[in-house]
Structure 1
Amino acid sequence: MTEPDLKPDDEARFDTAEYVLYQRSPFGMIGTSALIFVLVYGFYVLIAQLTQRPAFLAFDDAGNWITHPVSWVAFVLSLIQTAAIAFAGSAKGRWETETDDLVLAVNPAGRQAALNLSKGTPVSWRAGYHRLFWAGFVFGIIFNVVMILIEGISPLEYANSVGLWFLIVSPILFGTGFRAGMDVSRRSREIKQLIADHLLVDLFHLDRLNTIGKIGLRAARSWMIMAAILLLFMLNPEQLWITVPTIVATAAGGVFILTSALNPVHRKIVAAKQAELARIHDEMAQVRDRALAGEDAASSALAGLTDYEIWVTNRPEWPLSTGLATRFSLYILLPIIPIVGSYLFEKLADQLVTGGPA
């Protein structure tokens, strides 16, 4: 499937269903996300308790309450579904907060394109979004068919168990995920084109480019959050030989996403500095001989050019302030959350569900 070419700046745009949901919800970002999770996972609990295959809570031979391991799988999938909807619902809003600063960072010809980033999805992408959603939906159904074959049961038996939850939720989950991937690709393409065609590098106002750093930081944060959720499937505090490399790889992925967003700006800043230094060196060459000959005006000009050369050389080359760099270093800690979360979940289950030791 090929991506549609970017259209003129005045192309009509539409809002996704997730964005409309979050805009109309009276519960805010956190409240709406929590409600989605409760509904999705609560639906699993309801099916598990109604079908008892397996039950969400049951007694073991010793008379203690226990919960089936598949409940943890459903818990993580519910988190993934919630995060996917939340990211899609807040994507436009995240751009809106940077619009004013982004307009200042581009030349006049690119201001409309910068404003359009916060106006939703171009209508030319609507068909592609729909196709990818339904492709993911079909993939989710195929996933359930594979599960039925692996379990060696009939479709009716599968639907009369917690398999019904997977049959309903997984197509939506995959569909949302496929479409989210296309949305990320589109937004990345638009911002990269904006940077390539219209970014204005003023060495006296490099702080204006920090808005690109904020955008890259948010993309990296989204990756780290989703990765932290996915790691709930595989991390084990007792198997550090697997856990530590996985966390390191996840953190490296976040660094890659951040640097890939900032690198085009970095190259432009470096090019601007090199051009300015070349101009300074040309001017220094013109006054050097006169300064060495003792001409006061030339000596003063050469000293000023030398100071300016040092200032230009020391200008930052990455659109990332100290505060943003500190925040990113904290985001790297997000993959550690699955270790703590799985440990606390196990202890909570022992203490409150099974009645075992804390």
Structure 2
Amino acid sequence: MAKRQLVLEDGTVFVGEGFGSERATKGEVVFNTGMTGYQEVISDPSYCGQIVTMTYPLIGNYGVNRDDFETVTPFINGFVVKEVSDAPSNFRNEENLDHYLKAHDIPGIFGIDTRKLTKIIRKHGTMKAIISDLEAPAGELAEQVSKLILPTDQVKRTSTVKPYVVPGRGMRIVMVDFGAKHGILRELTKRNCNITVVPHDYSAESILRLKPDGILLTNGPGDPKDVPEAIAMIQQILGKIPVFGICLGHQLLALACGADTEKMKFGHRGANHPVKDLRKCKTYLTSQNHSYAVREGSLENTGLELTQIALNDNTVEGLQHKSYPAFSVQYHPEASPGPEDTNYLFDDFLNMIKKNQVKQEEEAYA
């Protein structure tokens, strides 16, 4: 395998071996702390445009299989690991990681000190980087990548283009796709929901025309403020239809209610983040992947109640509207990868819908 280098915008250089696609790639370099789940991480649309570093030292040892993808087409720009296995061993394995990355034109680099890289990101914050061969001078690459303008169209790139239906006999759910993971669909289909998946820019009028019982705002990549049409749509449906927001959907619900969001120093990415439910006084381990968070100080006069916080840094992890049937979480209750401690939230969503239907019937007969 050819030598390759990872150059950060501050000039730091890591030299390692290349795998996957041979092309050069640029993007925001982030790290994921999960010990397993690299296939789900690579195929998670929320990583769109990013170079992902896995902190666990050995990646690829159980291969790649047909069942654990979170989207058909991966959107990551690059993959960084300490050691990559080219001879995976698992009864579900169908190909190794190198072959998979080559097939999807994703460059990778291994054999670098990922612990050092992670410590740099934790100290100085997320930064831009480039993976390249050794022919290009590192100084020129650092200067080049420092001028890189990060994209703002990630949601458009990862969202479905046209509506489609996943049939079921239960609740009618409209799922607004901001770059959704398949895990969300799996949890809804498990509960026999009839799901209509719509694009990120679908209007409130078009959604209401579908006569949904509930609306699910999915995860997705990037800055929630780059999706103003979604914020406007949520403002128009809030109070009319029950709403459940996940990750980016959580941030969009907060913005629609008048709260604010901010970019985090290095974000939350991993399958082991502790979150405390303030109402139950109970802690859950959660799967997370986000660069932005809702500012707790901005919740005043929004009608939103803080329900959950991250125990590592006290950031906002859960919100409930005080007047309308609407709630959201910053983490991924569908997991994939990670613990499934919080997938009960999908049941809470359906129960909220039932309570809202009973309330509407009572008001109609009053």
TM-score exceeds 0.5: no
Greater strand fraction, Structure 1 or Structure 2:
2
Question: What's the TM-score, normalizing by structure 2?
Answer: 0.23
Greater helix fraction, Structure 1 or Structure 2:
1
**Bigger Cα Rg:** 1
Q: RCO (CA 8 Å, sep 6+): is it higher in 1 or 2?
A: 1
